[in-house]
Amino acid sequence: MELLDGKFVSEKLKEEITREAAAVLATTGRKPHLVAILVGNDGGSETYVASKMKNCEKVGFKSSLFRYDESVSEAELLAKIEEINKDSDVDGLIVQLPLPKHIDPEKVTETIDYRKDVDGFHPVNLGRMMRNLPCFIPATPYGILLMLEEYKIETSGKHCVVVGRSNIVGSPMSILMARNAYPGNCTVTLTHSRTRNLEETVRSADIIVAAIGKKNFITADMVKDGAVVIDVGINRETSTLTKSGYKLYGDVDFENVAPKASWITPVPGGVGLMTIIGLLKNTLASAKKEIY
Ligand code: GUN
């Protein structure tokens, strides 16, 4: 078994991004600029957004955070998005999900100018992704592709089983792995809560992408010898044993699955760190006007 080491790859790619951000500053006089909107006080969202902002600063981007109380109206939020859309100093805009129940995430996503949608959630970007056209690719799937590329993992002709059909990870991942591209050219099965024979299907996978959000859901008996295992899960459990007060678990029972896998991502230290890289690369591409 070998590790797909998110720490190593993300640090290496951050160095590359830092150099490119410096070149953007030298030629245009401005830094790539990411704006994040955070509504409410969800513990996970707080951590993710803080990490996104910190990493922007690290690679020489400008970052701005707009925080709203849980009670903010949908109209007020949409008005802020419209304002940021028009601001020529902003390259990328993300609204951290999940949002409070009274705010429609579809409306929010579609209000973001697709040319600044560095999360890649806007229907224009998703449609262009399906057609293999230049677009912003959702950050987590993008990060996984970069990881597979870094380790030169063979994907062509392989059976990739994606577990979980979320808009953010599972659904776009299934499309990307089936595209005529590298990484890609897989035969893809997208599985979810209604899938029959889920265990048998996962057992037939050469590449498993686990994005269910359930601790240790993928057990050793579901994994074929030599499979590549990508664990997208970030399941937080409170713990008195760590400084942060919680401990992270993946969707994969790492301890028992790892001995069977050819390659596997750890949690933490795997896909989570690569998600940030996907976001930074999209923001950089936006600042360089590479896509739109
Ligand atoms: N919530 C969980 N993952 C993500 C993400 O990639 N982007 C945003 N905006 N919210 C999220």
CATH of residue 46: 3.40.50.10860
What are the counts of helices (DSSP H) followed by strands (DSSP E) for the chain? 10, 11
Between the CA of 205 and the centroid of ligand 1 the distance, in Å, is 27
86 contact partners, CB below 8 Å, separation of at least 6: none
- Does ligand 1 come within 6 angstroms of the Cβ of 119? yes
- Does ligand 1 come within 6 angstroms of the Cβ of 211? no
Let me know if 206 is a catalytic residue: no
Its ipTM equals 0.96
Q: How many CB atoms lie within 10 A of CB 226?
A: 11
Is the domain of 165 the same as that of 269? yes
Q: How far is the C-alpha of 168 from the C-alpha of 252, rounded, in Å?
A: 19
Among the atoms of ligand 1, which is closest to the Cα of residue 98? Answer: 1
| Host domain of residue 252 | 139-274
Residue 7 burial (CB < 10 Å; 0-12/13-18/19+)?
middle
Is the domain of 108 the same as that of 149? no
The conformation of residue 56, written as its DSSP 8-state character, comes to H
Is the domain of 143 the same as that of 224? yes
Tell me whether residue 291 is in a domain: no
Tell me whether residue 5 is in a domain: no
Tell me whether residue 9 is in a domain: no
Indicate the length of the chain as a whole number: 292
- Does ligand 1 come within 6 angstroms of the Cβ of 59? no
Tell me whether residue 211 is in a domain: yes
Between the CA of 119 and the centroid of ligand 1 the distance, in Å, is 7
pLDDT attached to residue 243: 85
Is the domain of 202 the same as that of 231? yes
CA angle 2, 199, 150 (to 5 degrees): 25
Residue 67, SS3 per DSSP: strand
Between the CA of 96 and the centroid of ligand 1 the distance, in Å, is 5
Residue 247, SS3 per DSSP: strand
Is the domain of 115 the same as that of 202? no
If phi > 0 it is left, if psi is from -120 to 50 it is alpha, else beta; for residue 24 that is alpha
pLDDT attached to residue 254: 98
Q: 218: domain CATH number? A: 3.40.50.720
pLDDT attached to residue 244: 84
Q: Which of 39, 94, 108, 235 to mutate to test the pocket of ligand 1 (most atoms within 8 A of CB)?
A: 94
Tell me whether residue 289 is in a domain: no
Is the domain of 110 the same as that of 165? no
Tell me whether residue 210 is in a domain: yes
How many domains, the chain?
2
pLDDT attached to residue 211: 98
Is the domain of 145 the same as that of 88? no
Is the domain of 149 the same as that of 236? yes
Among the atoms of ligand 1, which is closest to the Cα of residue 138? Answer: 6
Work out the end-to-end distance of the chain between its first and last CA atoms, rounded to an integer number of angstroms: 41
Q: Which residue in the list 96, 117, 251, 253 is annotated as catalytic?
A: 96
Q: Please list the pLDDT of the chain residue by residue as tens digits (292 residues).
A: 999 999 999 999 999 999 999 999 999 999 999 999 999 999 899 999 999 999 999 999 999 999 999 999 999 999 999 999 999 999 999 999 999 999 999 999 999 999 999 999 999 999 999 999 999 999 999 999 999 999 999 999 999 999 999 999 999 999 999 999 999 999 999 999 999 999 999 999 999 999 999 999 999 999 999 999 999 999 999 988 888 888 999 999 999 999 999 999 999 999 999 999 999 999 999 999 999 9
Q: Which residue in the list 5, 91, 117, 119 is annotated as catalytic?
A: 119
Q: Tell me the β-bridge partners of 35.
A: 64, 93
Tell me whether residue 91 is in a domain: yes
